[in-house]
Amino acid sequence: MNGDWLMRSRDGGLCAYAYDPGGDAVVCRAEAYPGGPWSPPRPVGGEQRVQPEPAVARGPQGYAHLVAWRPTVPGEAGLVHSTHFQARLAALDWNPIGHPNKKGDRTGPPAVAVDAQGRAHVFVRNNGGGVSLRAQEEKGGWGPWRDLKGEDVHGELAAVTGESGLVDLYAVTGDGGLLRWRQEEAGRPLVRDEKVQPAAARPGTLRALATSAEHTTLFFTDEDGAVCAWRGGEAPVRVVDAVGPGAVAAIRCRLDDVDCTLLAQRASGGRVAFAAYPTEWESAGAWWTESGPELAADASVALVEDGEGRVVAGSREPGPQGRLYLAPRKRDEPGLALEAWRHVG
């Protein structure tokens, strides 16, 4: 899924979303209560079929917003949106929000971010190779589709809400250049930076994180195999060599009373690797440490903060029955000391 598939629900418990190709559905499983047993996977949004590569984001009230393509007529599809207010309960039925070009087939994986007012912003590549946006309005309903421009966009988009409550969007072009759009005022469409940043970024490796009151940071892997950080303006900065081919997971947390950015990635050997550095101080350097069981090559990794404020690392194999492992950070221990990885389900 595009977004944080492992998140904290409104009641403080954890929940995990996955796409079920056998049932053409998004499924969710959740803790019965914080730290309690996990429910079996169950479909989100009713019985309507949806297509692969859905997106998910957590809003400021703790609700999950999900977006997916659904088939309409042969050869065509439209986007649908659902809100999941409580992970242990049923989500709203999928609500159609249309197609950026009015009609046609899927144009690319969607992305979603939720602003400080709880309004979902849905982004997707359009037939012109740029990006289109449709956002919820303050008084309910959805605004019109807006063409945010851009060109030659490839792979997944990375949408993120900053500490300001405003939304940023990042994308990569076919030749590895970086594009950024920024929301300058709540409730307004995003504005694209005029310059395409040369970067040799690999499509499918983008991950964005709010890193200060002023900035969001984009993490990506370049063609030389380095995990890089970019906040617009100046050129991207190398953080550390990647240990695997997939995107990193990222979260801000306090380690030894220092505001740090923690990265996680599935290493080529199959285990989860972690690296941390003082937030927005990439020049300090970072080093990987591996942990946990060996995972399938297509397993995904996530980082989340639980209801007690502890970082929890998660890894999951694809599909609703894919093995899910969790490892919370140990209480009152220095550094990133994790409890033993636990198989859920």
Secondary-structure class of domain 2-245 per CATH:
mainly beta
CA distance to 240, 258, 297, per residue, from 289 (Å): 12, 19, 19
* Tokens 């977006």, residue located: 67
What tokens does 262 get? 């923690």
**Tens-level pLDDT at each residue, the chain (345 residues):** 899 999 999 989 999 999 999 999 999 999 998 889 999 999 999 989 999 999 999 999 999 999 999 999 999 999 999 999 999 899 999 999 999 999 999 999 999 999 999 999 999 999 999 999 999 998 889 999 999 999 999 999 999 999 999 999 999 999 999 999 999 999 889 999 989 999 999 999 999 999 999 999 999 999 999 999 999 988 999 999 999 998 999 999 999 999 999 999 999 999 999 999 999 999 999 999 999 888 888 889 999 999 888 999 999 987 767 789 999 999 888 888 999 999 986
Residues with Cβ within 8 Å of residue 177, at least 6 apart in sequence: 196, 197, 198, 199, 201
Task: Fill in the DSSP letter of residue 38.
Answer: B
User: Would you kindly state where each structural domain of the chain is located, as residue ranges?
Assistant: 2-245, 246-345
| pTM for the full predicted model | 0.96
Compute φ and ψ for 284, nearest 5 degrees. -70, -20
Q: Over 191-229, what HEC string results?
A: EECCCCECCCECCCCCEEEECCCCCEEEEEEECCCEEEE
